[in-house]
Structure 1
Amino acid sequence: MKIGISRPYADPGHPIPDVDMGAICQIAEEVGFDWVTYGHHTIRPLEEAVKPPHFGVPLYLDPLIGAARGLALTKTLEVSTGVLIMPMQHPVVVAKQVATIDRYSGAERFFLGLGTGGASRLEIELTGGSFERRWAYTMESIAIMKGLWTEDRFTFKGEFFDFPPTLLGPRPATQPHTPIWLGGFSDAVLQRIGEHCNGWLPVYAGAKLAFGAGHAGTDSAYDDLKAGRRKLHRFAEEAGREVSHFDINVILTPESATDVVRGFEDAGADRLAFTLPEVTSVEEARAELEKLAGRVL
């Protein structure tokens, strides 16, 4: 199992002391981590009540630009978005950006983690998306990106987009395309992964469930992960899709204990990311990364 880190979960505040992702990735690779994942939010509506775990939409750096910087400054580190909020994006633009990042970094170093946000309706709507149709838009976007990455003559007609014969290039170095992971817990999310994607990004509070989310009959993160993995393969089989392995990539909340590595490995996780505490400088980040590496690597 690969061990990594997730960006500070806390809101970096305003003005934004969000630490350079390139520096974070360089230090992470130096001290022995395998993976860095980085979240996504854009603008903060100032008078809208938002859903937990956020209490005010965080002011993060752009995760695709950050991933490109982090990958350019490292040699072996894997980087993912965790997660890019797709209802605020155009699939052609993301397809081009991801293909470029993938080609520059080399095959199988970048992974596209997607989600639909949901903490803030306004954040999605003010960037042109539909809050009510956010999952429909996301899945249509995934179909478009996969087609653009793999087909010489791509056509598409859906609810949101109508493509005449189209070609996108250059394509990702990873074949057949950059892996797509989805964040979430519901059976609907797992079904979407089983039918269309390559991996799952759940969030847990150490060995416990987080945010009250979990599959029926599970009371621990380990059991929940096992249940989710079984469902992924069942949904894929029911859809007639042959997938021998789905990447399962766990992000842990900040309060999580560090003695959970073996439990998640036994439960079938491929990657485990510990969330950095709040840091405001590269020096603080290095100290925390070195301390964390000493406990979990």
Structure 2
Amino acid sequence: MKIGLSRPYADPGHPIADVDMGEICQIAEEAGLDWVTYGHHTIRPLDEPVLPPHFGVPLYLDPLIGAARALAMTKRIEVSTSVLIMPMQHPVVVAKQVATIDRYSGGRFSLGLGVGGASRLEIELTGGSFERRWDYTMESIAVMKGLWTQDSFTFDGEFFKFPPTLLGPRPLTQPHPPISLGGFNDRVLRRVATSCEGWIPVYHNDRLAFGEGSGPENLKESRAKLHRFAEDAGRKIDHFDISVILTRSPNWTLCEFMRMPEPIASP
């Protein structure tokens, strides 16, 4: 098990600057922690009605630029996004950025993806489709993995069509940096089991955020489901990383981050 920190979900506010990811990672590394992870949002629509637990789009710094800064300022600690909102991104650009960060850092970066939640308009104003956000995200994962691993990559999907294409340099991590998905239900677990290497649940005071069940109970059940869903899909991998974010404040201002490699063969 690896222990680390998650960027607080609380909004830093305007015009207060967000936390410096590089400085946080230096402090975490000096303290002996293993990981730091950071969330992603872009712009805040001011007139959009937003329901709790979100109170408007948080005003975060860019997580990929922050990860590059943090990894350049440290030597050992690992950094991830938790999560990068994929419906607001183009997979070719993200594939290039992640490959570059992975090489510069010596393989200390992992990519956590999600589909948003704070705002419908945030996704739409950056060119994404709110209704098709999961379909776009899963197709984007297939595109990125193809670009990272194939010398002549072709693709014919709903959102992307590629003639023979090469992306280089390749990531240092082979076959590619691990991809995890954030979410709270069986549909997310099925997507992880068929297409990804890890799952990112969030627990608020030991209860699954936006769902039922305590942290230990949910993890035990979810590990079994990941195993079963992977077998159903005919997929064989050594383990899934379960990256657990624990929030212990009613305002979601303090988080802990635990990364647990879970062998698929385990019950």
Would you call these one fold, judging by a TM-score over 0.5?
A: yes
- Name the structure 2 match of 1:62: 62
Query: How far did residue 165 of structure 1 move?
Result: 0.4
Change (3 A) 1:99 1:51: farther
Query: How far did residue 87 of structure 1 move?
Result: 0.1
What are structure 2's unaligned runs of at least 5 residues? 251-255, 263-267
Query: How far did residue 231 of structure 1 move?
Result: 0.8
- Name the structure 1 match of 2:169: 170
Amino acid at match of 1:207: D
Report Cα offsets for 1:27-79 as digits up to 9, x if no partner: 11011111000000000000111243220100000000000000111111010
Partners of 1:102 and 1:162 lie apart in 2 by: 26
Amino acid at match of 1:42: T
Number of aligned positions between the proteins: 258
How well do the aligned residues superpose, as a CA RMSD in angstroms? Answer: 1.9
Partners of 1:158 and 1:238 lie apart in 2 by: 23
- Name the structure 1 match of 2:33: 33
- Are the equivalent residues in 2 in contact too, given 1:233–1:243 (CA < 8 A)? no
Change (3 A) 1:151 1:51: farther
Query: How far did residue 119 of structure 1 move?
Result: 2.0
- Name the structure 1 match of 2:194: 195
- Are the equivalent residues in 2 in contact too, given 1:51–1:120 (CA < 8 A)? no
Partners of 1:193 and 1:98 lie apart in 2 by: 19
Change (3 A) 1:179 1:51: farther
Pair 1:83 & 2:83 matched: yes
Partners of 2:205 and 2:21 lie apart in 1 by: 24
What are structure 1's unaligned runs of at least 5 residues? 272-297
Partners of 1:269 and 1:147 lie apart in 2 by: 26
Report Cα offsets for 1:92-151 as digits up to 9, x if no partner: 0000000000000012x1110000003211000000000000000000000000000000
Pair 1:134 & 2:133 matched: yes
Query: How far did residue 243 of structure 1 move?
Result: 1.7
Amino acid at match of 1:163: F
Tell me the TM-score normalised to structure 2 length.
Answer: 0.92
- Are the equivalent residues in 2 in contact too, given 1:51–1:118 (CA < 8 A)? no
Pair 1:6 & 2:6 matched: yes
Query: How far did residue 244 of structure 1 move?
Result: 2.6
Partners of 1:207 and 1:252 lie apart in 2 by: 7
Query: How far did residue 226 of structure 1 move?
Result: 1.0
- Structure 1 stretches of 4+ with a deviation exceeding 6 A read none
- Are the equivalent residues in 2 in contact too, given 1:118–1:131 (CA < 8 A)? no
Report Cα offsets for 1:195-219 as digits up to 9, x if no partner: 00000000002322223x14xxxx3
Alignment partner of 1:253 out of 203, 226, 247: 247
Partners of 2:150 and 2:111 lie apart in 1 by: 19
- Name the structure 1 match of 2:119: 120
- SS of the equivalent of 2:11 reads coil
- SS of the equivalent of 1:147 reads helix
Partners of 1:180 and 1:46 lie apart in 2 by: 32
Pair 1:269 & 2:263 matched: no
- Are the equivalent residues in 1 in contact too, given 2:154–2:163 (CA < 8 A)? yes
RCO greater where, 1 or 2, for CA within 8 Å and sep 6 or more? 1
Query: How far did residue 162 of structure 1 move?
Result: 0.6
- Name the structure 1 match of 2:223: 229
Query: How far did residue 16 of structure 1 move?
Result: 3.1
Pair 1:206 & 2:197 matched: no
Deviates more, 1:52-61 or 1:138-147: 52-61
Partners of 2:76 and 2:221 lie apart in 1 by: 31
Partners of 1:7 and 1:50 lie apart in 2 by: 22
